[in-house]
Homo-oligomer: A and B are copies of this chain.
Amino acid sequence: MTDESAQPQRNGTLRPTLEAVAELAGVSRATVSRVVNGGTGVRATLRDRVQRAVEELGYVPNQAARTLVTRRNDAVAVVVAEPESRVFSDPFFAQQLRGIGKELSAADSQLVLLLVEDSGDYQRVGRYLAGGHVDGALLFSLHQDDPLPAMAHRVGLPTVIGGRPWAATDRDQLYVDTDNRGGARLAVGHLAALGRRCIATITGPLDQTSAADRLDGYRDILPDGDPQLIAESDFTQEGGGRAMAELLARRPDLDAVFAASDLMASAALRVLREHGRRVPQDVAVVGFDDLESVAAWTDPPLTTVRQDIEDMGRLMARLLLRRLSHDGGADAARHSPASVITPTRLVVRATA
């Protein structure tokens, strides 16, 4: 019927436009637009007529056209920098993503996932962020000199960072982080309270703030500890196993280990067993993360520090959305949200 004023579609059929709906309903484009966007200020009879036309034609607004004029995308980018490929296969991140997804979809925003595999990708991602595809960005697993926050700031894109960044590029750079230091204190304090005298730790990569903060927590409790009791590792099982073996070689007398991730703790458990140590009788072990598929399933079940990962993701999304909403307002600074540190708690199972 209204063959003109409709856009060609991939499969050859025509996709209806505002124009087509307007024609069918016998009104102007403006009126259809009003109805589609809430329908206020349109008489009921007309509104119904338009709605029927929309229905009949199966009209769906073209987002590109809309974005072009409104400058809103209703989309948020999630950028994951993981040159080492590790971060992403980690259930940790998946859970955060879930929280983010829930929160964004509640706000009718889309989640655009950008993966940075190698350094060449930074350019691509930077272009994307600058290209106005998204209203804001959530940045993950940044390294010490990550260029992304600065890029985003340059193009004026609101961002929230997952995990405490090393340095704030921007006075009011928002971030959400776990209380890594407090959690580590909880873990090490627990070991000390059990009467353990020689408490070692396996750290994550110390160029990440989460790893550094957990080590700081360990030192808070053991300020005069032997540096031999600290083994730097990388949060993975392989690395954790190696670190455990090293610690045993350096200090065979150790009677407790705080591993800064559950994956490392699970590997430590195995290495301890291979070396004839009983857990927890000879050596007590505490992990960090409380990953569902790991902590409760080690043998014996792992005592660990729990963080509500999904909630962190949710929080990040909420922070960003809130910032977007009072964007530019005169009192933006006054009402603007602040960074959040989520609490941790100790989950005592059988290894300590």
Chain A residues proximal to chain B, CB less than 8 Å: 7-13, 15, 58, 60-65, 67-68, 71, 73, 75, 78, 85, 88-91, 93-95, 97-98, 101-102, 105, 108, 110-115, 117, 121, 124, 127-128, 130-133, 155-158, 237, 263, 266-267, 270, 292-294, 297, 299, 327-328
Contact = CB atoms under 8 A, between A and B. Distances in A.
A117 B155 CA distance: 33
Given A114-B111, A131-B62, A299-B270, A89 B93 contact: no
Main SS of chain A's interface residues? Answer: mixed
A151 to B, nearest CB: 11
A9 B130 CA distance: 11
Contacts of A68: 62, 64-65, 68
Nearest to A324: B10
Contacts of A7: 71
A266 B64 CA distance: 48
B131 A108 contact: no
Copies of this subunit: 2
Contacts of A108: 124
A349 B267 CA distance: 17
6 contacts: A10-B327, A63-B132, A64-B73, A68-B68, A89-B94, A266-B297
Given A94-B93, A94-B94, A113-B111, A64 B299 contact: no
Given A131-B61, A299-B299, A89 B95 contact: yes
B91 A9 contact: no
B89 A132 contact: no
Nearest to A113: B113
Contacts of A114: 110-111
A347 B266 CA distance: 22
B98 A124 contact: no
B89 A98 contact: yes
Contact of A98 (B88, B155, B266, B327): B88
Contact of A158 (B10, B60, B65, B156): B10
- Top 8 A-B pairs, shortest CB-CB distance: A11-B156, A101-B115, A64-B67, A60-B130, A64-B68, A113-B113, A10-B156, A63-B131
Given A10-B328, A85-B98, A112-B113, 15 more contacts: A8-B71, A9-B155, A61-B131, A75-B112, A78-B113, A88-B94, A90-B94, A91-B94, A108-B124, A110-B114, A110-B128, A111-B112, A270-B297, A270-B299, A293-B293
